[in-house]
Structure 1
Amino acid sequence: MTEWLTPSEIFELSSRQVDVWRIHLVSIPPDESALSAEERQRAAKFHFDKDRHRYIVSHTSLRGILARYLHRAPEELSFSVNEYGKPFLTDHELEFNLSHSGDYALIAVTRERKVGVDVERIRAEVEIEELARRNFSPREVSELTALPLEERLNGFFSCWTRKEAYIKAQGLGLSLPLDSFDVSLGEPALLRATRPNAGEAAQWTMLPLDVDSGYAGALAVRGNNLDFRFWDRE
């Protein structure tokens, strides 16, 4: 069970620490003052107010959280994206990843190591077997269909979030084939196999994240024997 703690004022992050932040998007009022002009333009394009609210709060939270570690003002941070669309800070080695779904966002932060995070609201209407056949490896599909019917929905979203977290950590977008690696569906969360480089799997740590009832979450980070902290953004 993930224990989410209240953060202190000042944050330091060692090379072996990984912080994960949980943001309850609907409980925080939107404030665009720290966003860039491009982010404000993107927010304005949302048709529904709730989607605009969630975008503003998640990206303002990202700026505020990263600013804690860098001891800078949130509006001073500058971002760019790699050729596959993964954002990064233009002038610092701090690594981060953001995911949001429904009423929650997750932000993972570490130093000089690949990291990815994913959160998904569990939706019973999803055609899980069809999506699994299109997006999971043969081993993952076999394990999913072997589960009792009442366990398949949670098994699907556990697998989905773990695969998404790993893909986002690698920062290669869909150029990384979804069937080129296997993750576990149950506990413990594992990157079981990577192809064609079989040794890559052992270089990663994967964790399930208990976000809230009705949500699935996962973290993937390159490295072993790491120190994890879990924070609630107040």
Structure 2
Amino acid sequence: MASEPEKSRSRPQRRVYVRSRHTHTGPPFMIQLSTKPFPLPRPTRQLEIAQNELHLWRISLEEGLDSVDQLQKQLSEAEQVRAGKFFREAQAQQFVVYHAALRDILARYVGVRPREIAYETGQFGKPNVVSVQADGLRFNLTHSGELAVVAVSRGAEVGVDIERTRVVRSFASMLERCLSQAERKDVCDHHEDDRHRHFLRFWTHKEAYLKAIGVGLRAPLDQLTLDLLAPEGRKVVNHFHLFPKQPVIRLMELAPCEGFVGAVGSTHTESPEIKTFGWVSGRFVG
């Protein structure tokens, strides 16, 4: 078991975003994720989350790479088997760090040890903490390269997605398959150097939306039209009768860190109070 941090060390402050409910006429609100580690409390002290809150955790792969062997012990047997099936060691390490960090985070809301967290899946495979542990807790995990983000709520469904900005392979084909006609025009109206990044903004918003309603990428992305400049509760312009009209999904743009784009969706009836945290490794209790 790793030693406890010295009491003399200052505790990094979490970021809290409280948004005005007045009409927003400027650029879309963008959530900046915390880059500072937030030490998790002792296992006997639960993290609290109110129903009007949305917690976002930033997980750096580098933070857990020195502790992969210890982190792996926090995984379930099924997760350990899955980690062992990756062909590349780097992929296995990513899986271990991100899924152990997820358990480490959820355990402090639920009040059990990380390895004791139990999952159940929805109709289309979206995982949730089993109802006997969860008390309405909902979460979603996304990762891209050396970065992961976990969204946590209570009583509201959530979906989150991030992507490293990059040149998108088979770009013309991806535009046709994933974007509606209006969205394709929006992307092509951008400068050539910015079109791939703008496509990924649409991609992350759509995936966050689909993960929040629990269907994932099974749905046809080109049959969903978004307006990225619209307020969070009105970004979905057209469902083409293929997506549920209720509940309304609030879509908010993330700025995970430089070189990434992202989005988070939730079914909060009003704009949630957003708190952001940075996961820190070093406490192994499971």
Tell me the TM-score normalized by structure 2.
Answer: 0.75
Matched residues, number:
234
Q: Which residue of structure 2 aligns with residue 32 of structure 1?
A: 72
Q: 1:48 aligns with which of 88, 97, 101?
A: 88
Would you say 1:191 and 2:232 are equivalent positions? no
Q: Which moved more, 1:215-224 or 1:185-194?
A: 185-194
Would you say 1:165 and 2:165 are equivalent positions? no
Q: Which residue of structure 2 aligns with residue 206 of structure 1?
A: 251
Look up the SS of the partner of 2:124 in the other structure: coil
What is the root-mean-square deviation of aligned Cα atoms in Å?
Answer: 2.3
Q: Which moved more, 1:179-188 or 1:57-66?
A: 179-188
Q: Which runs of 4 or more aligned residues in structure 1 lie more than 4 Å from their structure 2 counterparts after TM superposition?
A: 185-190
Q: What is the CA distance between 1:41 and its match in structure 2?
A: 0.4
In structure 2, what is the Cα distance between the partners aligned to 1:114 and 1:103?
26
Match runs of 1:117-196 below 5 Å: 117-185=160-228, 191-195=235-239, 196=241
Q: What is the CA distance between 1:169 and its match in structure 2?
A: 0.9
| Unpaired segments ≥5 residues, structure 2 | 1-29, 281-286
Look up the SS of the partner of 1:218 in the other structure: strand
Q: What is the CA distance between 1:125 and its match in structure 2?
A: 4.8
Q: By percentage of residues, which structure has more helix?
A: 1
CA contact (8 A) 1:26 1:54 kept: no
Identity of aligned residues (%): 30
CA contact (8 A) 2:152 2:158 kept: yes
Q: 1:228 aligns with which of 274, 280, 284?
A: 274
Q: What is the CA distance between 1:126 and its match in structure 2?
A: 2.6
List per-residue Cα deviations over 1:173-206 (Å, max 9, x = no partner).
3443323322234586662324238993892221
Structure with more relative contact order (C-alpha pairs < 8 Å, separation 6 or more): 2
The structure whose Rg is larger is 2
In structure 1, what is the Cα distance between the partners aligned to 2:119 and 2:137?
12
In structure 2, what is the Cα distance between the partners aligned to 1:127 and 1:66?
38
In structure 1, what is the Cα distance between the partners aligned to 2:124 and 2:194?
34
Q: Which moved more, 1:171-180 or 1:114-123?
A: 171-180
Tell me the TM-score normalized by structure 1.
Answer: 0.91
In structure 2, what is the Cα distance between the partners aligned to 1:188 and 1:129?
29
Match runs of 1:98-117 below 5 Å: 98-117=141-160
CA contact (8 A) 1:128 1:156 kept: no
